[in-house]
Structure 1
Amino acid sequence: MAKEEVTRLFRAAQANLSLRENLNSAPNIETFVQLAQGLGYNFTLQEWKEVTSVNVEELQCKVSEIPGI
């Protein structure tokens, strides 16, 4: 279920500039997940990390710029 939710979120963010900007405003991954949950996307921080296999804290880019997403 988490994989589908993460995929749904990234597809929506790619198609919706306002959503993408809202998510990119998150100062950290914890806030990002909280924003996503508030928008109806049902996954936890741990599930997000497992699905994306990315340690966002190490990246120097916005969440929507993560390669392969």
Structure 2
Amino acid sequence: MAKEQVVKLFRAAQMNPSLRDELNTAPDVDTFVKLAGERGYEFTTEEWQEVVRFSVEELKSHVSEIPGI
């Protein structure tokens, strides 16, 4: 279920530039997950990594730049 939340968040971010901009302000994955949770998208850092197949160290791009989402 949480993995579905990751996908829903990325789809919402693609449709909503304001949401995407807010998420792109996150300096790290933990902050990103916290911001997502505050907006109703509940998932852990590990679940996020499984869906997007990136490690924490690889998160140097913006949400809109993550391929496959």
Is there any run of 5+ residues in structure 1 with no aligned partner, and where?
none
Change (3 A) 1:40 1:59: closer
CA RMSD of aligned residues (A): 1.3
Equivalent in the alignment of 1:62? 62
Q: Which runs of 4+ in 1 moved over 6 A?
A: none
Is there any run of 5+ residues in structure 2 with no aligned partner, and where?
none
Change (3 A) 1:12 1:48: same
Equivalent in the alignment of 2:43? 43
Q: Which amino acid aligns with 2:38?
A: G
Given that 1:2 and 1:51 are in contact with CA atoms closer than 8 Å, whether structure 2 keeps it comes out as no
Report how far residue 53 of structure 1 moved. 1.3
Report how far residue 51 of structure 1 moved. 1.6
Q: Which amino acid aligns with 2:52?
A: T
Change (3 A) 1:28 1:59: closer
How many percent of aligned residue pairs carry the same amino acid? 62
Report how far residue 56 of structure 1 moved. 4.5
Aligned pair count? 69
- Partners of 1:56 and 1:62 in 2: how far apart? 13
The TM-score with structure 1 as length reference comes to 0.89
Report how far residue 52 of structure 1 moved. 1.5
